[in-house]
């Protein structure tokens, strides 16, 4: 069994949708980035890539590449799942935390878990999504950004 850690952070800006694990969350600002800027899914991608020593999200989906402009991060995650499977890896579990002062995310957690489990083809019991605040500290606490952490465990398929 191998483990990987992922982290992502994007600034909140007006005029963008807020998307976390493929769920559009009503909010007056969204995350700025080349794709849909889904920090939660990006952290999961990096955790999976780290667990399998296959690089990072930027190596697979370079910012500035027009193929990924406003791309759904769930589609990118599905591509990574396929790359892992092609190398003989299976996913044991994913544990994540989104760090956001606002909006409150409790009512969206089940939907986020559902999207991740479907995209990865694993049981919902293998996917954890939690939300936390930064207790008004730093850019996260001042509602300037949202961040996410993820850990993944994988093993070679039997």
Write out pLDDT tens, residues 85-143. 999 999 999 999 999 999 999 999 999 999 999 999 999 999 999 999 999 999 999 99
Note the pLDDT tens digit of each residue in 34-58. 999 999 999 999 999 999 999 999 9
* Cβ-based neighbours of 151, under 8 Å, separated by 6 or more: 3, 4, 5, 6, 47, 94, 95, 96
DSSP state letter for 16: S
Backbone φ/ψ region at 65: left (φ over 0), alpha (ψ -120 to 50), beta? beta
C-alpha 20/C-alpha 61 separation (Å) is: 18
Domain ranges of the chain: 2-156
- The answer to whether residues 79 and 57 touch, using CB atoms and an 8 Å cutoff, is no
Q: For the domain 2-156, what is the CATH superfamily, name and number? A: 2-C-methyl-D-erythritol 2,4-cyclodiphosphate synthase (3.30.1330.50)
The pTM (predicted TM-score) of the whole model is 0.97
């Amino acid at each position: 069994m191998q483990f990987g850690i992922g982290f992502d952070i994007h600034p909140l800006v007006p005029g963008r949708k807020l998307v976390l694990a493929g769920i559009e969350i009503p909010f007056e600002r969204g995350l700025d980035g080349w794709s849909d800027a889904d920090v939660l899914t990006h952290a999961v991608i990096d955790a999976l890539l780290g667990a399998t020593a296959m690089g990072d999200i930027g190596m697979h989906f370079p910012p500035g590449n027009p193929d990924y402009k406003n791309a759904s991060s769930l589609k990118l995650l599905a591509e990574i799942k396929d790359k892992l499977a092609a190398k003989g890896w299976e996913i044991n579990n994913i544990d994540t935390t989104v760090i956001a002062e606002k909006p409150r995310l409790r009512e969206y957690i089940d939907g986020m878990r559902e999207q991740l489990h479907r995209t990865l083809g694993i049981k919902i019991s293998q996917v954890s999504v939690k939300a936390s605040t930064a207790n008004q500290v730093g850019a996260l606490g001042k509602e300037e950004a949202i961040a996410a952490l993820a850990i993944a465990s994988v093993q070679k398929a039997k």
